[in-house]
Amino acid sequence: MRRPVAVRVVGPLQWIIYPALAAVAATIVFATPVELFGLTLPEPVFPMVLAFAWPLIRPSMTAPAVLFVLGLFLDLFWGGPLGLWPLCLMAVYAVILLSRNLLAGHEGLIRFAWYAACTLGAFLTAYVIVAIRAANPPSILSLIGQVTPTLILYPIADWMLERFDDGDTRFR
């Protein structure tokens, strides 16, 4: 008699909803006004990790909708122009989704280069939109102070890709 094989099913709750809630919580925690030795906490764009990882894990219709909501949350939370971060996050999602076949099989440095390029492109788009809207460009040092911590979040995206990429054995 053959023994049943345990199937590990990873649904949208595990790879979309929980990470989205974690990104919201991390955004709120990192926005607390804590100051130590004159330095404040960085404010990285945590949903950027999700915008990069989700199309590589498994394209779905839920992920872009959740990214849009996360972007609106960032706009309302940080007081930016409404629609700025949804546009940037959806652009990253679209670029990675369209280049998904190119990224298949690559690991480590290649994926980090794509993450860095997408992150820099999203921040450049946000910078240009804010500069045009305000008729005054924002501080470059502030931009670097937000881009750098966002780039440092790449290991989380890599962990998500390793954890959830083949998480559902029914699709192998």
Percent of the chain residues topping a pLDDT of 70: 90
Residue 24 has pLDDT above 90, yes or no: yes
Residues in a beta bridge with 36: 39
Average pLDDT of the chain to the nearest whole number? 89
**For residue 103, which of 83, 88, 117, 123 has the smallest C-alpha distance?**
117
pLDDT given at position 90: 96
The pTM for the full model equals: 0.88
Give the residue extent of every domain in the chain.
Answer: 12-171
Has residue 58 got a pLDDT over 50?
A: yes
Measured CA to CA in angstroms, residue 127 lies from 74, 82, 139 at distances of 15, 14, 9
Identify the residue with better confidence: 117 or 16: 117
Q: Report H helices in 79-166.
A: 84-98, 100-103, 109-134, 140-152, 154-164
- All residues at 6 or more sequence positions from 5 whose CB lies less than 8 Å from its CB, including other chains: none
Stronger pLDDT, 141 or 12, i.e. the higher one: 141
CB 52 within 8 A of CB 118: yes
pLDDT confidence tier of residue 75, bands split at 50, 70 and 90: very high
The per-residue pLDDT for range 98-119, each reduced to its tens digit, is 999 998 888 889 999 999 999 9
Give mean pLDDT, residues 83-102: 95
